[in-house]
Amino acid sequence: MLKNVLKVGDRIELKSINQVRLMENTNRVYLSQVLDILDDYRMNIAVPIESGHLVPLEIGSRYEMSFLTNSGLYMCKCEIKNRLKQENLYYLAVSIISELKRDQRRQYFRLEKIIPLKYRVVSELEQRLRYFMEKKAYKDDREKRLVSEKLLQLEGTRLEGTIVNVSGGGIKFSSMSKHENGTTLMLDFSLIDGLKIEAEAKVIGSAEISNSKGKIEYRCEFKKIKKDLREAIVRYVFSEERKQRQKESGL
């Protein structure tokens, strides 16, 4: 199983699951890299580096390991079996001690990021007509054409906002426009890699921004979004977090 989802060179994160450690902060997350995969339960990884210094994790210590692959985010538990050195390379021998599982929680981790947003309000009539079209409830081609034309008329004015954080579950954004909780919005934004995201979302909370007259911050939950786009956001969040940790650790 391990060889099917992980490969040499992949980045991994390690979070301590030990209950008692005299010298180790159990809340720390270490960034490492896969050096060799011996079988489905054993592999060698790079010794984590923080601020330019090696972090020799304790033999026998256990960690929650998570990593991103083309098929999604995974996690498992592992144990440090040995600390080794080959020429000038320091590495750790690791054993997998639990079942490998998709890490569904990670899709809801939020990344603080400023991203331009264009959006529009979706009226109740538009929602009903879209449902009508999805169910193919029209009697004939003429009725289908009339409903399609009405939907184009209802699309309305596109508004502008600024996303301040994003996750696989939704976004938080600021705007000068006012919207009630429960309002349905059609979102349109792009990630840094150029991938365009279009999704239907619902406003689930709002608050005026202090020291910014008229600007309101909204929390939105995705209601309709393609699976591949949601997964792309998850990968983006994970990748950006990883880059930040690389800068912090110097790896």
Domains annotated for the chain, with CATH where assigned, are: 2-102 (2.30.110.10), 108-240 (2.40.10.220)
User: For residues 81 and 63, is the Cβ–Cβ distance under 8 A?
Assistant: no
127 vs 212: CA distance, rounded Å: 33
Alpha helix ranges (H) inside the chain: 2-5, 124-134, 141-154, 227-249
Half-sphere exposure of 36 (CA within 13 A, CB side): 7
**What was the pLDDT predicted at 232?**
85
Amino acid letter, 6? L
The total of other beta-carbon atoms located within 10 Å of residue 243's CB is 11
pLDDT tens track, the chain, 251 positions? 677 888 898 888 888 886 434 344 445 678 889 999 999 899 999 998 877 788 889 999 999 998 877 566 788 999 999 999 998 889 999 999 999 887 655 556 788 899 999 999 998 888 888 888 888 888 899 999 998 888 888 887 899 999 999 988 899 999 999 999 999 999 999 987 678 999 999 999 999 988 778 899 999 999 999 988 988 888 888 778 767 766 655 55
**What was the pLDDT predicted at 26?**
47
**What was the pLDDT predicted at 66?**
86
73 vs 101: CA distance, rounded Å: 9
User: For residues 175 and 218, is the Cβ–Cβ distance under 8 A?
Assistant: yes
**What was the pLDDT predicted at 67?**
84
